[in-house]
Structure 1
Amino acid sequence: MSTPSDGPAEASSSDIVEKPRLSTWEQMKTAEDWWAIWCAGLILLLAFAAVWASVPATFTESIQQGETVSLSSPLKSWLAKPGKWTENPVDAFYVAGSGEASATTTYRGVIGAFVVIGVLFTIAMRLRGKNAIGFLKAFPVVFLLATIAYVLAGQTVIKAYNLEYALWALLVGLVISNTIGTPSGLRPAIMTEFFIKTGLVLLGAEVLMSRLMALGIPGIGVAWVVTPIVLISTFIFGQKVLKIPSKSLNMVISADMSVCGVSAAIATAAACKAKKEELSLAIGLSLSFTVVMMILLPLAIKAMGLPDDVGGAWLGGTIDATGAVAVAGATLGEEALEVAATVKMIQNILIGVTAFCVATYWVTYVEKRSDAATPGVGEIWYRFPKFVLGFIAASVLFSILHASMTGGDVMIEAMIGGSTKTLRGWFFCLAFVCIGLETNFSQLLPYFRGGKPMILYVCGQSLNLLLTLVMAYLMFGVLFAEAGQ
């Protein structure tokens, strides 16, 4: 039996009140997971169509002749986020350089992102039968808080330490919720999971199978062999050794740390029905350690004299945030950056696999009553986070377009860089603000008592660092040394 200091325990199965379940068709019309797919799918469709419409008549011929061709999405100037600034925060809304035309680009792009997300989600809320008017009234405030987080992250000194927008967005929300309290009028726009699920489906379009093929077996060895070993080992360690009473907290921290950070944490939390406080705690740990590892790991790689590809694979397999992986890899050189980013993208593919496996395990073992029959496939399907299907579909579809279309790689890069990546960043930033607004330290304290979540993360990440280093050296430094060069 757990003591009070161990943190909150999970509710027993007898305490769970079963809600009437909707058919899959009804869920597709009303459920948040499905609407994340519809919203992201519409964005991807329009973004790709915009690039397609801008392709010049000589595009195909130029590609076939081997010429270097570049495209720019027509949406690029209409979708942006605040940029860098040094002394005056207002400079974040102006692109580098001078002139009236260039000066309005970032400012106009921020307004464009506000309008696109606001209109899209208001319509979605209305069609889902939710409080669309309440969302429309509260969304400008939540978007303003996300903008503030972006501006804080864009300050040159702060940016040099890679204290990214996710951390500032979380802090902005936490400051409000733990001082004056989150106003009730903001509640309709605090759509944490809706924002981040939509962003994750957009992320699927960036996870291209060609990236996997670029590194082949060495990349798969680092990303796909170590990750499940660390996840399972950390979960068992938390249950058997640390005896963490909340299995869902244990699983979310394990997935966050071993797979790919926040994205995996969100998907896993949905699969095991983790509490919002547990998700907030896991994300907080992830963001904190990401900053530390991003600074220290490149120094350790240089001190150990590791080859760039080995060091890059180590970074990609251990640092949680994709942006932090890129920054850390860049400090080692172009080769390390390419390997690190590719390994991380290969690892991102495991988001869907992890969510499915966790949902299956949770339904079959964790929540199975002793007097109940073994749950069937229908129960697993009901529990499975459906937005992951959108992530997988986007990855497969755009991987096919990337590989089969003449100039498909150029078009997709223009689409991602010109619109979808920017909107994905906004969705994530809004989600982190909402997480902060929903989180009160008094609710988190029970989870910190005894220090078990911190111990779990440190021990799990230590195992991850060790095994990933061994696998990276084995794959890139020994077995496939020539292929990695």
Structure 2
Amino acid sequence: MVTGVTRVLPGFVGLCLGAVLARGLSTVVGVNELLLAIGLGVLLANTIGVPDSLRPGTATHKIWLAAGIVLLGASLTIGSIVETGSTVLLLMIATVTVTVLTVEVIARNVAGLTERFGSLLAAGAGICGVSAVVAVGGGIRARETQIAYAAGVVLLIDAITIVVYPIVGARLGLSGIVFGVWAGVSMLSTGPVVAVGFAHSEVAGQWATMTKLARNALIGVVALGYASYYARRESGGSTSVSTLWTNFPKFVLGFLALVVLASVGVFSPDQQASIANAVDWLFLLAFVGLGTEIRATQLRGIGLGPALVVFAAMTVGSVLSLAVAVAVL
């Protein structure tokens, strides 16, 4: 055990330094800290390279990603899903379905992306951004470079929507409820949704948060669905319970367990705030490590196609959900 700790410690310290640097730079340059974390890892990997002494530690990024997903469940409750109301829930499910299917169709039939890569992009765009990319990536055994690139695409779109949504909301004079629901059902990641919601108004912030958290709860269903689909593909159309269990991302069970615990009031507000802070740091650690897996030569082979696919699908879902929200809310 001592030998194992000694091997991973240098790389882990490197991840910690990268996480702290990403958060510090974020406050200075105003760029998403997770995007900066990936960028720092990419910069290291594609300049001086990752020393062999650091590789065992940087490879632990999978552990920190899984831990972050599990703890994310503490911010969700079954009650938050019920509170959003049947109309909003239907709009949310419809938007998720349209976005996921649009990404899958464009990725496979237009952009020529691999099926697994398209599924990662679809999950990230349709459910909850980076968290969904990670959860689905573990279930379908996607390559680390695909997971990292898909996460980068999500964060890039997040950066765009943080600017665009408030402008559209102001120009159209959207009410707090309409704007909050629209942001919650169509934007990608939770942080940007909450940020633009409360930037609009208190009411918009509350609705955006409730709607987005309800949408996040679909991550377990989607992760299981994709894991089942690819397991059946690999087994020739028949899937045994053992095969499903092998492909199922086990940390999703921890995520669902914390949702249940949060729903029965196990966590106090202070504890939830502490857990949310821990999630932020775990994701920072993970994305510095993920960045070290990205090689510029590999990304040049992928091109801008994935980002354009997600942007196109998100635009479709955003426009449709806004039209419906204005009409029914």
TM range (shorter): over 0.9
Question: What's 1:149 paired with?
Answer: 22
Seen in structure 2, the aligned counterparts of structure 1 residues 205 and 332 have a Cα distance that, compared at 3 Å, is same
Seen in structure 2, the aligned counterparts of structure 1 residues 179 and 325 have a Cα distance that, compared at 3 Å, is same
Deviations 1:182-234 (A, max 9, x none): 11111111112210110111110111122222222133123223212321232
Question: What's 1:462 paired with?
Answer: 315
Question: What's 1:396 paired with?
Answer: 260
Residue in structure 2 matching 1:360, options 225, 228, 233: 228
Task: State the AA in 2 paired with 1:444.
Answer: L
CA contact (8 A) 1:221 1:471 kept: no
Question: What's 2:78 paired with?
Answer: 209
What TM-score, normalized to structure 2? 0.94
Tell me how far 1:474 sits from its aligned partner: 4.4
C-alpha distance in 2, partners of 1:221/1:470? 14
Task: State the AA in 2 paired with 1:136.
Answer: L
Whose helix fraction is larger, Structure 1's or Structure 2's?
Answer: 2
C-alpha distance in 2, partners of 1:386/1:453? 27
C-alpha distance in 2, partners of 1:257/1:188? 31
C-alpha distance in 2, partners of 1:153/1:257? 23
Question: Mapping of 1:55-74 within 5 angstroms?
Answer: none
Question: What's 1:247 paired with?
Answer: 115
C-alpha distance in 2, partners of 1:465/1:207? 24
C-alpha distance in 2, partners of 1:130/1:434? 21
C-alpha distance in 1, partners of 2:96/2:17? 37
CA contact (8 A) 2:111 2:306 kept: no
CA contact (8 A) 2:148 2:290 kept: yes
Seen in structure 2, the aligned counterparts of structure 1 residues 383 and 319 have a Cα distance that, compared at 3 Å, is same
CA contact (8 A) 1:271 1:358 kept: yes
C-alpha distance in 1, partners of 2:65/2:207? 26
Give the secondary-structure state (helix, strand or coil) at the position aligned to 2:249.
coil
| RMSD between aligned residues | 1.8
C-alpha distance in 1, partners of 2:327/2:194? 22
C-alpha distance in 1, partners of 2:161/2:307? 15
Tell me how far 1:425 sits from its aligned partner: 1.1
Question: What's 2:270 paired with?
Answer: 414
Task: State the AA in 2 paired with 1:292.
Answer: I
Question: What's 1:132 paired with?
Answer: 5
Tell me how far 1:445 sits from its aligned partner: 1.5
C-alpha distance in 1, partners of 2:3/2:82? 43
Deviations 1:293-341 (A, max 9, x none): 1111111112112221111111112222211111111221100111111
Give the secondary-structure state (helix, strand or coil) at the position aligned to 2:200.
coil
Deviations 1:346-400 (A, max 9, x none): 11101101100001111113x244xxx6222221121010100000010012211
Matched, 1:472 2:325: yes
Task: State the AA in 2 paired with 1:384.
Answer: F
Matched, 1:226 2:134: no
Structure 1: unaligned runs, 5 residues or longer: 1-125, 403-410, 478-485
What TM-score, normalized to structure 1? 0.65
Residue in structure 2 matching 1:171, options 39, 45, 70: 39
C-alpha distance in 1, partners of 2:201/2:155? 24
Matched, 1:430 2:285: yes
Tell me how far 1:136 sits from its aligned partner: 2.3
C-alpha distance in 1, partners of 2:194/2:102? 27
Tell me how far 1:466 sits from its aligned partner: 2.1
C-alpha distance in 2, partners of 1:308/1:235? 32
Deviations 1:93-115 (A, max 9, x none): xxxxxxxxxxxxxxxxxxxxxxx
Question: Mapping of 1:269-288 within 5 angstroms?
Answer: 269-288=137-156
Seen in structure 2, the aligned counterparts of structure 1 residues 263 and 131 have a Cα distance that, compared at 3 Å, is same
Deviations 1:80-129 (A, max 9, x none): xxxxxxxxxxxxxxxxxxxxxxxxxxxxxxxxxxxxxxxxxxxxxx4xx9
Question: Mapping of 1:171-210 within 5 angstroms?
Answer: 171-190=39-58, 191-210=60-79
Question: What's 1:339 paired with?
Answer: 207
Across the two proteins, how many residue pairs are aligned to each other? 328
Deviations 1:226-279 (A, max 9, x none): 2123212321232233332x1111110111111110000001111211111111
C-alpha distance in 1, partners of 2:299/2:83? 43
Task: State the AA in 2 paired with 1:439.
Answer: I
Give the secondary-structure state (helix, strand or coil) at the position aligned to 1:306.
coil
C-alpha distance in 2, partners of 1:131/1:468? 50
Q: Which one has more relative contact order, counting CA pairs under 8 Å at least 6 apart? A: 2
Structure 2: unaligned runs, 5 residues or longer: none
CA contact (8 A) 1:211 1:342 kept: yes
Rg (Cα) greater in structure: 1
Give the secondary-structure state (helix, strand or coil) at the position aligned to 2:238.
coil
Tell me how far 1:166 sits from its aligned partner: 0.5
CA contact (8 A) 1:222 1:313 kept: no
CA contact (8 A) 1:146 1:433 kept: yes
C-alpha distance in 1, partners of 2:181/2:85? 13
C-alpha distance in 2, partners of 1:289/1:243? 21
